[in-house]
A and B are shown apart, each in its own frame.
Chain A
């Protein structure tokens, strides 16, 4: 069973700093189907990155995704107050068809 492990569990940073979030798959997965979301309290997740590195509509270029195989990274530069949230990575698997999520990284204001 493929599992997505996100690290760190919690990241404490100040506005203006940069954040690096990791998503590691237990087996090699397709980068085409790797996405990142963030979720604020009481809200639905919002898509940030799809295809490992493509920014979703309306997402500022401070957000960037990279990686392949088993290791994927979301980088957020120049943190804004609205960036502090929980971040999830997500992967679609084709055999058998299903979706999986990482356990999340909480990005909090230091």
Chain B
């Protein structure tokens, strides 16, 4: 059974760097086509895709946030880490990680419960 869970700070000050961790189980992120994606949702708003880490260490980022985002992995801990630099109030929201399933056409099939982040001084 595949599960994912996000963790990180609930409050971050403007201009600081936000670091979130996605800890997963049920897969090892080493099968062709697998990936872990990050998606966020501002309060009352739609979903916004941020980044995706592929099994082969390839990384993809949202074009609008590419210069502020970094995604890395720690294979030994089954974790994928998202870093967002120079945060602003507009970065407040719930951050989700999700499993990219190669056997379901690369769809983001299983999502973590999300972690709420508030950017405020």
Contact = CB atoms under 8 A, between A and B. Distances in A.
Given A88-B47, A100-B49, A44 B62 contact: no
B112 A102 contact: no
A35 B107 contact: yes
Nearest to B4: A44
Nearest to B116: A42
Given A44-B111, A44-B114, A101 B106 contact: no
Contacts, number: 61
A72 interface: no
Contact of A101 (B47, B52, B105, B113): B47
Given A96-B63, A98-B62, A103 B46 contact: yes
Q: How large is the interface on A (under 10, 10 to 19, 20 to 34, 35 or more residues)?
A: 20 to 34
B67 interface: no
B60 interface: yes
A100 B60 CA distance: 13
B109 A45 contact: no
A101 B60 contact: no
Interface of A: 32-33, 35, 43-47, 50-51, 54, 56, 88, 90, 92, 96-104
Interface of B: 37, 39, 46-49, 52, 60, 62-63, 96, 104-114
